[in-house]
Structure formats: C-alpha cells, structure tokens
C-alpha cells in the first residue's frame, strides 16, 4: 500500500477547506454584488406578483396563502439582505494594504459566509416565486353592494316590498312596474343593499341581473352562473347552463332581482327554480309594463308612483344644492315652479336639478320655466337623458296603431282628464281604428288600446278611472317630441291646448300641421283664414268665449276628418262645414247654435254627429240627418227641449225617420211626453241603439217601469237620466228583457241620474238577477219624498254616489234587511261619496263596511249624521280625504277613540 496517497488526499481536502473559507474573505465584494443583483431580481418578481394580486382583488378573487407567505418572506429577506450588504460594505472599506487584506479576518470571514448563504436563500426564493396562479376564485358573496342614489319618497313602497320578502311566504314573485324614470331601479337597488345591513336574514344569496330591452338568455345565464360560482364556456348549450343553474339554486334560499324586464323571462329556460312556499325563495323584477307583471305570473304587483309634491321638492333641493337656491331671494319660489313642470318624475327632477345647480340669477330660472312650459325637449339634458330613455316605451308598443293613438293623446292640455269615449271617437274618426260592421267591436278595440297604453304606463287613470284617462306631463312632452320627429320637424302638430290664448296662433303656423289642438283657451274670434290642406284634426272645444268664425275659415281644410267645436259659444252653424267632404266626426255639443242646415246631408262620410246639450237649437233637419249614409253615432241628448216646432216631432211623429240610418249604432235622445216614449219603444232599431236617454218632464207619468214595456229593447243603454217629472212616484227596475236573460239594459247601465222628482218615494227592483251590475255613477238630487236607497244592496260596481237636497232620506241602506254576502259586496267598488243637504239623514249603513276602494267622502249640511259606517279596516290603503264641516265632525260618534284617530288625519274642512 502506497503511504503517500492518503496523505495527498488529506492535504487536498485540507486545501479545499482552506480555499473555501478564505474565499468568503477574498470574494466578499464579488458575492456582495451578486447578492445585490439577486435581491433586485427578487424584488422585481415580488412586484410582478403584487400586480397580479391587485388584479385578482379587482376581480374579487382570494389570494393564495402560499403567495402571501412568499411575499412576506421576500419582504423579510429584503431587510436582512440590506443589513448584510451594509456590513459587507463596511468590511471592504476597512481593508488595509491597499484593500488587499482585511483588518479583522475573522469578522470578514463571518460576513462573507453570511453573504454566500443569503445569496443561496434569495435564489431559492426567486425560483419558488414563479406562480401560475396567485389567487383563487372567492366563494360567492351573499350580497354584492350596488351603487345607489337618494331614495326620496320611497319608504312606503320599500316597506311593502320588504314585508313581502320577509313575512309573506305565499308571495314568491313580485313585480315593480311604473313609467320610465320613476325610480324602479333605485328602489330595487335599495332592496339589494338593505340585505347588507340585515345580517340576520336567512337568504343564502341575493342575485342582481340586468335584463334590458335586448333580452339575451345566454348572458342572463352567464350573470347568474357567475354569482353562484359557475363558469360556462362559450360552447356550452343553454340547456346545460339551465341544468347547472337549477341544481345550484335548488340547494339554497335565494332572492333574484331582475332589473328592466320588457317581456316574459322563461324561468325554466334560464334554470331558475320557481319560487314557492316550500323553497321560500323570491324573485323581484322591474318593468315599465303592468302586462309584463301578468305574463311573469307575479303574485304581487306594486306600482312605483311618481313622487308627491313634498318628496319631489325634497329631491330637487338635494340635486340643485343650497348654493343655487340661496343665491337670490326669488329663486326658491321660481324653483318650485320648475319642480311643478317635472310632475313628480324623479328622472326629470334629477336631470333638471343638476342642470339648474349652476344658475344663480332669477333671469336664468325664469328662462328655464319658459322653456319647460313651451317645449321641454329644448331644455338642456331633457332630450338625451329623459326623452330618449322614455322613448323605449313608445318603441316597444306592438304596432303603429297603438303608437298613433298614443301620440294623439298629446293634443289635450297638461293634466287633462280625457274622456275615454271622446278619445275613442276621435281615433275612429281619424281612421286609427279599422272599420267594423259592429261599432261595439270598434269601441272594444278602442278600450283595448287604452288599457294597453295604461299597462305600458304611457297613460294613467283619470279622476274617474272608469270614464277618464290622463297623460303624465313628461310623457306628454315625450309624445310631442316624437310627433315632431324627435325634434327634427316642429310643424306636424300645432298644440296650444290650455294656454289661455285670447287670439288664435298666426295662420302661418297652421300651414304644415296635420293636427291642431286649441282646446281650453279664451279665443273669442277666429278672424283669419288659414291655408292648411293636410289638416286632419282640428280641436277647438272648450273655448267658451268663442262666438265668431270668419267666412272662409274652413275653406282650405279639404282633408279634415275630425272637427270639435263643443263647449264654444257660437250661435250660427258655420255653413262651410258642409263642404268638408272628408269629415267623419263633428261635435257641436254644448254650443249655442240655433239651427242645423239641410245641407248637412252633403257630408256623406260623416260617422259621428254630436248635438248633445244644444238647448237653443230651434231646428233639426231630421230628414237630412236620416239620409246620412254612414252615420253611426247620433247624439241629440238634451237638445231642443221645449221648442214648439220640435215637440210634435219628438212626440213620435218623426222618430221613425231615424230608422233609415242603416249603420246607426248609438243614439242619444230626449223624450218629453209619454206618447213619444211609447213611439221610441216601438222603433226597434232606435231602441236597440239608444245608449243615452233623458226623460224630461213627461206630465202624467206616475210609475216608470225600467222594462221592455216602456223602453223597448234598450240593452245598450249606458246613461239614463229622468228629470223634472213632477208626477212620478215610483221607479221599478228589472234586469230581465224578454228573451235576453241577464243581458237586459239595467245590466248595461253605467250612469243613472235621478233629478227633480219631488214625489218619488221608491226605487224598487223586480228581478231574477241583480240589477245595475255595471252601474258606476249614481246621482240623486231634489227627490224630497225618497227615504232610502236600500235597492243598492249588492251593487258592487258603483264608483260614485252623489246624494243632494233630498229632504226625507233618513238612511241610505236600511238596517236589518241585508244578508252577510250583500253587506260585504255593497259599495265594494265605491271611490267617491258625496252627501249634501240631507237634513234628516241619520245613517249610511248601521254596520261598518269595508269600503276597500273608497278614496274620499264629502259631507255637507248633514248634521243629524252622527256615525259613519267605518272601522279600523275601512278604506284601508285607499282613503285619503274626508271633507266636512268642523261642527259635524266634532259631533260624530265612534266605537272607540282608536278608530277616530285612524280617520282624523284625513279630515279637511269644507
């Protein structure tokens, strides 16, 4: 064995050890530089990881724990390396012999060794920092906060919805509907965010999805899927998505908030489990259409109304700010005028409030009021932020007929109660509603159109919802804007309705107009002769001071189809009207005209002729009218009463002439004698067409049976008035017309007026079926012998009851004669109750009634009425006003003080 070999190995290992240890000293500067470079690279890598984490946080992902630990390790290492680098630098700077030899070899050795070790650790950290994923997808949050805006005036609606969510298990689907810009999304946002403040709710997830007009099923599935933690690839089928969503949602109790629905969302196609009392989940959606609420099978439909005055003013103050409002003493008053033009629509209030925030002079505010009144579309922001948004509702109407009918409603003044009947007649005259053999079908189509527009929240109920509609002021601005082709053309409509004009607009403005409305002004004379050959509709009604129309005024109106002069004070029939060969609708009611010329027969296209309440009329050309080939509606209600020339005719000698009107389907007439009444009943066609009938005076009429014996086959009768019949003692009603079962005219009657019958003691019904099942308005005045109205038992359709100056009435409904069922339905539809000058009235009904629809009660000079048939549930959620004398209110008796306290806030003094 060679002894030198082990010695050589030992010396080699010893040399390597000495060389390695001395290298810590020799290569200290080189190793420090490498450590600095490695640490810089590690810091850059850490910055990259942090950037990925920031992005993940925006995407609501959760950082992985290993990544957080690695970042913390790097940050700790950064401090350690800085300390070692500082000590190493000191060692190098302290070397002697020109920097070749350390002053303290041991200290340099220790620092050098630490530098090498840290370099290894830094390199190790850098190698482990190349993460593919730095964060994981978070489990879905129970609720995601939504950006919100002030919810002024929505507290009651919110409480209503919140109660359905928390307390009413049987209500699974809730629809919030209302016109555009009314605050539906704002309310839905408040509901969503309220869950953030109620941590004790038992819903596992609240899901918000915007549906919008451009409905996209896959996008809705994607949005819902992401909220429940499901990710769908682009090529996955709708059916697969629906199945996975259904399985996920079926395991939890959820609230689904669907914003901006325009048509039915098929829950099954999306994968949404149907909410019910078992799973107790909820779906709340917003829509502009009440019809969509029905198609969505909503168990609860809640209309989001415009703000009341106080709430609207509060919201406007928030939007405009104190600085603008306090900049001049006149501005607060002017600001209220601006708010009035917004008509409680939050979208308009927000838009106008923001724009006015910088206006600090009265001149600017006065200018704003002028612009809003004259043409709201010209106000800054209204066209882009309000009208364009609202136009989606117009664009969504199913067809052009509905759109034309909607635009036509803008011809009426602001806040005007539009008669449904008149509106439909205008539409038929214009040709919007197609020809029908049966006019009832055309009228039914008209009512369908009105209801469709109401469902779309483009019309709303008027003061009397059964007979009237209204158009919200901002919606009217929308209609005028659209009719003028969204601001590009301003001459198509000329609308100056309700402006208080004394003179008509300049004739130059009439030239390009297709429709002109000057309703409800103070125009006295139409002096000039306009050129308007394309004019189709001219509405001059309710110009009560209008007495004169110039010769030649109608001469150029060769296309005119609708002409309304009702409510004016003209005395002479304008003869030029007989030259309007396209005319289909002519309304001269409530005028002072004295004659109607024979030349009327020239108007061969005329369908509607209304001479109602033309009480100064001395001559009606019966033969001429009876030869109008297309006449469908003839209204002579309360015309020419008392004229000697006409009385003979109205006794029946000439009524048969109207039988020549082959297309006549609606007839209004005044009857003044028993013989004329008998003649009318024998005219089969006329009696079938009669829808408005006034029995006036009729001396010798003692008992009046509302039956085929006296009225013939009047199953279309809608309005019936019996007035000034001084001998009449009894009215007898029957719902049965021979061979017609329940289709008798008392079942079709909507308005009944009983006036000036001093001997009338009784109204009684003789029927196998209840009478007056469509009766909506009942007015009884000056019937001094009448003691009660017990015959109204069981009439649930009555909306308005007006009793005035009936000296003997002691009770409205006599006690002890009603069944429980009759009591429950009696007055169940009543909205308005007026009781005036009834000196003996003691009771409306002896028992409290629910009055589920009652809105207001007015009592005047009924001091013996000491108890109202009300309990704490009467008129619940509907009653808003009780008008009466303080003396009367103070003497009222109540079951207890609590019931009195319920109704006291509604009291208004006469």
For tokens 């006690």, the residue is 815
How many CA within 13 A on the CB side of residue 673? 13
Interval 622-647 mean pLDDT:
78
Has residue 823 got a pLDDT over 70? Answer: no
The confidence score (pLDDT) of residue 35 equals 78
SS3 at position 209 = strand
Contacts of 451 (CB under 8 A, 6+ apart): none
Helix (H) or strand (E) holding 626: helix 622-626
Has residue 740 got a pLDDT over 80? Answer: no
Query: Are β-strands 135-137 and 61-63 bridged in parallel, bridged antiparallel, or unpaired?
Result: antiparallel
SS3 at position 608 = strand
Has residue 256 got a pLDDT over 90? Answer: yes
Nearest to 652 by CA among 630, 626, 688, 683: 683
More confident residue, 140 or 843: 843
Where do the structural domains in the chain lie, given as residue ranges? Answer: 12-137, 155-303, 309-374, 386-487, 787-910
Please give the Cα distance from 165 to 203 (Å, whole number).
Answer: 10
> Which of the residue ranges 246-260, 406-420, 822-836, 840-854 would you say has the lowest mean pLDDT?
822-836
Please give the Cα distance from 399 to 844 (Å, whole number).
Answer: 49
Nearest to 233 by CA among 215, 221, 247: 221
Nearest to 635 by CA among 422, 457, 454: 422
The confidence score (pLDDT) of residue 801 equals 96
At CB < 8 A and 24+ separation, what contacts does 207-211 make? 207/254, 207/255, 207/256, 207/257, 208/144, 208/146, 208/257, 208/259, 209/256, 209/257, 209/258, 209/259, 210/259, 210/260, 211/258, 211/259, 211/260, 211/261, 211/262, 211/265, 211/285
**Looking at the DSSP assignment, which residues form a beta bridge with residue 733?**
706, 765
Residue 811 confidence class, pLDDT cut points 50, 70, 90: very high
The confidence score (pLDDT) of residue 73 equals 87
The confidence score (pLDDT) of residue 307 equals 92
SS3 at position 133 = coil
CA distances from 247 to 274, 340, 743 (A): 12, 51, 54
The confidence score (pLDDT) of residue 23 equals 64
Joined together, the tokens standing for residue 383 give: 């066209």
Please give the Cα distance from 477 to 389 (Å, whole number).
Answer: 13
Task: Classify 771 in phi/psi space as left (phi over 0), alpha (psi -120 to 50) or beta.
Answer: beta
* Chain center to CA of 563: 31
Please give the Cα distance from 696 to 723 (Å, whole number).
Answer: 5
Helix (H) or strand (E) holding 181: none
The confidence score (pLDDT) of residue 48 equals 87
Please give the Cα distance from 245 to 242 (Å, whole number).
Answer: 5
Count of other CB atoms within 10 angstroms of residue 811 = 17
Identity of the highest mean pLDDT range in 18-22, 46-50, 703-707: 46-50
How many CA within 13 A on the CB side of residue 607? 20
Has residue 464 got a pLDDT over 70? Answer: yes
Query: Would you state the CATH architecture of domain 309-374?
Result: Orthogonal Bundle (1.10)
More confident residue, 277 or 547: 547
The confidence score (pLDDT) of residue 643 equals 43
The confidence score (pLDDT) of residue 95 equals 55
Has residue 5 got a pLDDT over 80? Answer: no
Has residue 15 got a pLDDT over 60? Answer: no
Interval 396-403 mean pLDDT:
94
Joined together, the tokens standing for residue 489 give: 């053309």
Identity of the highest mean pLDDT range in 15-29, 429-443, 518-532: 518-532
- One of 2.40.110.10, 1.10.10.10, 2.60.120.260, 1.10.3720.10 is the CATH number of 386-487, namely 1.10.10.10
How does DSSP classify residue 218?
H
Count of other CB atoms within 10 angstroms of residue 254 = 25
**Looking at the DSSP assignment, which residues form a beta bridge with residue 562?**
537, 585
CA distances from 566 to 323, 410, 542 (A): 50, 19, 6
Contacts of 374 (CB under 8 A, 6+ apart): none
Diameter of the chain by CA atoms?
164
Joined together, the tokens standing for residue 809 give: 């009435």
> Which of the residue ranges 81-90, 265-274, 720-729, 832-841 would you say has the lowest mean pLDDT?
81-90
The confidence score (pLDDT) of residue 486 equals 63
pLDDT tens-digit series, residues 553-564: 999 999 999 999
Please give the Cα distance from 493 to 505 (Å, whole number).
Answer: 13
CA distances from 44 to 23, 135, 256 (A): 29, 19, 45
Please state, for a pLDDT cut of 70, what percent of the chain lies above it.
Answer: 88
> Which of the residue ranges 4-13, 50-59, 660-669 would you say has the lowest mean pLDDT?
4-13
CATH number belonging to domain 155-303:
3.40.50.300
Nearest to 758 by CA among 722, 730, 726: 726
The confidence score (pLDDT) of residue 58 equals 78
Mean of the per-residue pLDDT values of the chain: 86
Alpha-carbon Rg for the chain in angstroms: 42
Please state, for a pLDDT cut of 90, what percent of the chain lies above it.
Answer: 55
SS3 at position 239 = helix
The confidence score (pLDDT) of residue 125 equals 81
């Amino acid at each position: 064995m060679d002894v030198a070999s082990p010695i050589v190995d030992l010396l080699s290992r010893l040399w390597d050890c000495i060389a390695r240890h001395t290298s810590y000293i020799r290569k200290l500067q080189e190793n420090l530089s490498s450590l600095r470079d490695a640490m810089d690279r590690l810091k850059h890598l850490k910055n990259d990881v942090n950037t990925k984490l920031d992005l993940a946080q925006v995407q609501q992902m959760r950082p992985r724990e290993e990544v957080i630990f690695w970042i913390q390790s790097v940050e700790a290492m950064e401090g350690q390396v800085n300390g070692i680098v500082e000590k190493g630098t000191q060692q190098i700077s302290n070397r002697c012999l020109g920097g070749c030899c350390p002053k303290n070899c041991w200290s340099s050795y220790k620092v050098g060794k630490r530098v090498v070790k840290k370099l290894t650790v830094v390199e190790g950290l850098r190698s482990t920092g190349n993460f593919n994923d730095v964060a994981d997808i978070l489990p879905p949050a129970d609720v995601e906060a939504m950006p919100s805006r002030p919810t002024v005036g929505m507290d009651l609606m919110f409480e209503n919805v919140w109660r359905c969510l928390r307390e009413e298990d049987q209500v699974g689907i809730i629809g919030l509907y209302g016109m555009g810009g009314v605050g539906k999304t704002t309310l839905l946002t408040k509901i969503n965010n309220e869950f953030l403040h109620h941590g004790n709710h038992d819903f596992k997830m609240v899901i918000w999805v915007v549906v919008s007009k451009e409905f996209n099923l896959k996008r809705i599935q994607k949005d819902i899927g992401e909220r429940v933690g499901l990710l769908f690839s682009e090529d996955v089928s709708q059916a697969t998505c629906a199945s996975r969503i259904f399985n996920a949602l079926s395991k939890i109790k959820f609230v689904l908030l669907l914003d901006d629905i325009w048509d039915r969302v098929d829950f099954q196609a999306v994968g949404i489990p149907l909410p019910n009392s078992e799973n107790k989940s909820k779906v709340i959606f917003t829509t502009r259409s009440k019809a969509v609420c029905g198609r969505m099978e909503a168990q609860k439909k809640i209309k989001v109304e415009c703000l009341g005055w106080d709430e609207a003013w509060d919201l406007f103050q928030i939007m405009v700010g104190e600085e603008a409002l306090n900049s001049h003493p006149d501005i607060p008053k002017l600001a209220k005028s601006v708010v009035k033009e917004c008509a409680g629509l939050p979208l308009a209030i927000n838009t106008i409030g923001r724009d006015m925030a910088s206006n600090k002079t009265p001149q600017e505010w006065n200018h704003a009021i002028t612009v809003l009144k004259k043409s709201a579309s010209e106000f800054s922001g209204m066209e882009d932020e309000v009208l364009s948004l609202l136009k989606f509702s117009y664009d969504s109407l199913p067809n052009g007929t509905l759109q034309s009918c909607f635009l036509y409603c803008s011809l009426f003044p602001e806040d005007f109660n539009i008669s449904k009947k008149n509106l439909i007649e205008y539409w038929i005259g214009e040709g919007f509603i197609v020809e029908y053999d049966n006019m009832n079908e055309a009228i039914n189509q008209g009512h369908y159109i009105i209801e469709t527009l109401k469902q779309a929240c483009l019309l709303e109920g008027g003061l009397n919802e059964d007979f009237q509609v209204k158009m919200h002021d901002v919606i009217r601005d929308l209609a005028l804007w659209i009719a003028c082709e969204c601001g590009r053309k301003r001459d198509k409509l000329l609308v100056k309705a309700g402006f208080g004009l004394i003179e008509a607009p300049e004739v130059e403005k009439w030239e390009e107009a297709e429709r002109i409305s000057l309703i409800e002004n103070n125009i006295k004379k139409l002096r000039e002769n306009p050129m308007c050959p394309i004019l189709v509709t001219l509405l001059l009604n309710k110009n009560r001071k209008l007495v004169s129309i110039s010769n030649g005024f109608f001469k150029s109106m060769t296309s005119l189809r609708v002409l309304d002069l009702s409510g004016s004070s003209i005395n002479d029939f304008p003869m030029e009207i007989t030259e309007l060969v396209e005319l289909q609708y002519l309304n001269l009611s409530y005028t002072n005209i004295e004659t109607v010329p024979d030349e009327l027969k020239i108007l061969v296209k005329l369908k509607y002729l209304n001479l109602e309440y033309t009480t100064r009329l001395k001559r009606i050309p019966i033969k001429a009218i009876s030869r109008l080939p297309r006449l469908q509606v003839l209204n002579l209600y309360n015309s020419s009463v008392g004229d000697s020339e006409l009385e003979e005719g109205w006794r029946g000698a000439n009524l048969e002439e109207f039988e020549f009107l082959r297309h006549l389907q609606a007839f209004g007439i005044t009857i003044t004698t028993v013989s004329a009444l008998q003649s009318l009943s024998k005219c089969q066609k006329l009696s079938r067409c009669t829808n408005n009938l006034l029995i006036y005076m009729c001396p010798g009429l003692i008992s009046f049976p509302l039956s085929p014996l006296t009225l013939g086959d009047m199953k279309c009768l809608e309005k019936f008035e019996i007035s000034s019949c001084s001998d009449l003692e009894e009215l007898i009603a029957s719902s049965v017309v021979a061979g017609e079962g329940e289709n008798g005219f008392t079942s079709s009657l909507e308005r009944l007026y009983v006036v000036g019958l001093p001997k009338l003691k009784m109204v009684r019904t003789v029927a196998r079926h209840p009478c007056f099942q469509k009766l909506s308005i009942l007015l009884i005045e000056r019937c001094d012998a009448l003691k009660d109205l017990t015959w109204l038992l069981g009439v649930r359709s009555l909306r308005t009851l007006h009793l005035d100056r009936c000296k003997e009435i002691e009770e409205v409904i006599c006690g002890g004669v009603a069944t429980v069922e009759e009591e429950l339905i009696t007055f169940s539809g009543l909205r308005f109750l007026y009781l005036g000058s009834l000196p003996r009235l003691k009771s409306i009904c002896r028992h409290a009634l629910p009055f589920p629809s009652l809105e207001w009660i007015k009592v005047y000079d009924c001091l013996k009425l000491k108890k109202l048939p009300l309990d704490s549930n009467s008129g619940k959620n509907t009653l808003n006003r009780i008008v009466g004398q303080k003396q009367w209110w103070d003497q009222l008796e109540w079951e207890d003080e609590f019931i009195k306290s319920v109704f006291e806030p509604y009291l208004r003094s006469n």
